[in-house]
Amino acid sequence: MTATYVLDGARIRTLEDFWRVIGEAVNGPGGYFGGNLDAFADCLSGGFGTPDDDDYVIEWREHRLSREHLGHQETARQLEIRLSRCHPANRPAVAAELAAARARRGTTVFDWLVGIFEDRAPGVLRLR
């Protein structure tokens, strides 16, 4: 039987909200399912609360609302955080991404998350 985990997009206004909501959906209150993009990708690869046989679905309800909240403004906020922490050699690339986000161009946090789903767990995500 396929396990279904439901994300309430109305509760996702920031990337930090996403980490909390998906953690709770998969592993219950206070649950963990990634706290950064790399950890999230690892969690989707299995063994962090999802069935080991990959027979599961993550249903992202109200995803349009999440797409709006995880758009360019949130992307710029996340890139500002990344820029403040990244290795000096990476700063020019992150600064360029930040400039694009501020100009409402380029990929968004929502795009990053969907891309990780598609890369690490193809077919698992259902946008509703």
> pLDDT for 50-80, tens place per residue?
776 668 899 999 999 999 999 999 999 999 9
**What type of residue is 50?**
T
DSSP secondary structure, 31-49, as one string: --S-SSHHHHHHHHTTTSS
Can you give the residue range of the structural domain that contains 79? 72-107
Query: 25 and 52 share a domain?
Result: yes
Query: 14 and 35 share a domain?
Result: yes
Query: Residue 53 has what pLDDT?
Result: 61
Query: Residue 88 has what pLDDT?
Result: 98
Tell me how many domains the chain contains.
Answer: 2
Query: 85 and 26 share a domain?
Result: no
Cβ neighbours of residue 101 under 8 Å, at least 6 residues apart?
72, 75, 76, 79, 108
Give the closest residue to 98 by CA, choosing from 110, 111, 107: 107
Across the chain, what does the average pLDDT equal?
Answer: 94
CATH code of 35's domain: 3.30.370.10
Cβ neighbours of residue 55 under 8 Å, at least 6 residues apart?
1, 2, 3
Give this prediction's pTM. 0.94
